[in-house]
Structure 1
Amino acid sequence: MTSSFPTPGLARFNALEERAGVAALHEVCASVEWGRRLLAGRPYATVDDLLAASDAAMAGLTAGDLEEAMAAHPPIGRPKSGDPTSAREQRGMADASEELRAEMLELNLAYQEKFGHVFLICATGRSGEQMRDAIEERIGNPPEREREIVRTELGKINRIRLTRLLGQDTPV
């Protein structure tokens, strides 16, 4: 649930010193430009305003900015070791069979070979099978279409992470 009014977490975010704000936003999204745009928009009156600014910043990212953001995401099925965010977001693969893990590895490699970056999906709440089905569907996309899907998926991930950063419930 997002908020159309100020919250303590939003007040803390608005008050962060520049360096702390950069660091906090980098944990949400590795795109320097996305973080710069969000910091430049402070103070935000509501959580919804911050999320809308995140969406607008994501829409304005160049292909290079998107590559920078994607580079921080591990492949599905292989969360970053010791990273609770990565493990939480990829929870749907935690109980996947060895067969499904092997299939995802193969699909991830084929996807990366075709598009030059990891398969990116908002994995929160998705099962391993749903992620496999998504990569199978998306691997046939032309690069331009896939880049826009990646932009949308990054936007979803950023919304979830921003909401968590503010100590809110995760948006649906």
Structure 2
Amino acid sequence: MRIVNIRRATQDDVPEIVRLKALLMIDGWPFDIELDDAWRERCARVARQLLASDGYACFVIDRVEGAGPGSPLASCVTATVEQHLPGPDGSGRSAYVGDMCTEAEFRGRGCGTALLDAALQWCREQEAGWVSLFSTESGDALYRKAGFSDEGPFQHLSMAL
């Protein structure tokens, strides 16, 4: 399948972005979750805020080529770029890629690769010098093929607050 309809998401795509985020968490997270209407409303509100900000991009593929904003989506990915204090050799801009989700019937057709390429290109255009992500088990091969690794000069740590 040739992927030709990658586009930036708009406010009209928010319901579908929320639907795909729910699918990602239900199908891809390593533990069970329950999502309610309050979560969907909160997620939609945040998605609208993010889509209006300069440091955020969401790339999507329509289920039907050329359908456009507000139509059902086959796949999506998000990217965020933040400014930090720079080191001696960089801009101090770092990126985070997340929320990659492809409907089951569209998997294996290059959607994830095409969307990841679009997100990484946008990150480069934003002058990010580094990009990170969290991978589900099913996404690991895609990200490693693109050049992501768990090796590097720093160890990634996290904690819940």
Larger helix percent: 1
Q: Given the two structures, how large is their TM-score scaled by the length of structure 2?
A: 0.29
Q: Given the two structures, how large is their TM-score scaled by the length of structure 1?
A: 0.28
